[in-house]
Amino acid sequence: MRLGFAGTPEFAAVALRAVLAAGHAVELVLTQPDRAAGRGLAQRPSPVKRLAQVAGLRLLQPPTLRDAVVQQEIRCRELEVLVVAAYGLILPQAILDLPLRGCINIHASLLPRWRGAAPIQRAILAGDRETGISIMQMDAGLDSGPVLLSAVQDIRDDDTAASLHDRLAEMGAGLVLEVLDRLPFAGCEQPAEGITYAAKIDKAETVLDWRQPAAQLARQVRAFNPLPVARCMLGGNVLKVWAATPLAASGSPGLILAAGRDGLLIACGEGALRIEEVQQAGGRRMSAADFLNGTAVRVGSRCTLVAP
């Protein structure tokens, strides 16, 4: 097949790698413009851009797809299908209409649950026991087109957004190859019931509110690992929390119940949260036990809320 591919992060790069390995002719790759990242704010190419350059593929990084010149570039490629995965830009109808067999999207949820930008994080935050991949025929709506193929993935008790992302990325790559082998075929319209939206993660959501149940706070920690990372305030300093476990214990919310080799145990609105891996501003990730070796934390003191 003569394909186009639109995607940006590693989730998309996994799918592009599979499409290339399967022997499809990728005529054009679309990815978002380079972004400033890191302490030096240097411009960094996306994982999809890096892969496209290594493979010698035609690459475009338009800030918008409403540009007539960009649309003509895509039109002249005479694509059969445009495969889309976590691209990050809206595809206008003029783009959706260009490929012979339309545009198909690799979406990391079981549609219609968790339409939108952050389905992996939202599924963990909500305490869902399963999620999956939906390969969708794109229309002008937000993840609202017919589902061509889907598969279920369990969410494990210890899953972070990173670990779940990796399994879903591999699953999505496999499913999109199945769909490409079978096209054209009709998908199933999404039901009107069960629609939920996975809004982008706001930094304010990363703050651990000790008035909440420990189980909910543990899901925050897992959902925001590796980005943007859950946070709390300890001794006047902001602490990133990379790993934590809910336990059965009681105390006033925010009260430090224990501090030792097992980590920090902090009372919540229901139960307590054992913090096991942390990071100070400008420092490295470390176990909570190592952190406590260099930082005096008094049992009976408090963790407080941190400003967003």
Best CA proximity match to 30, nearest among 176, 79, 21, 43 = 79
Residues 267-283 have a mean pLDDT of 95
Per-residue model confidence (pLDDT) at position 298? 93
| pLDDT single digits (tens) 32-57 | 999 877 666 678 999 999 999 999 99
Q: What is the pTM of this model?
A: 0.95
Other CB atoms within a 10 A radius of the CB of residue 286 amount to 16
**Which residues does 63 contact at the CB level (< 8 Å), separation at least 6?**
33
Under the banding of pLDDT at 50, 70 and 90, the label for residue 146 is very high
Give just the sign of the alpha carbon dihedral 286, 10, 145, 64.
Answer: positive
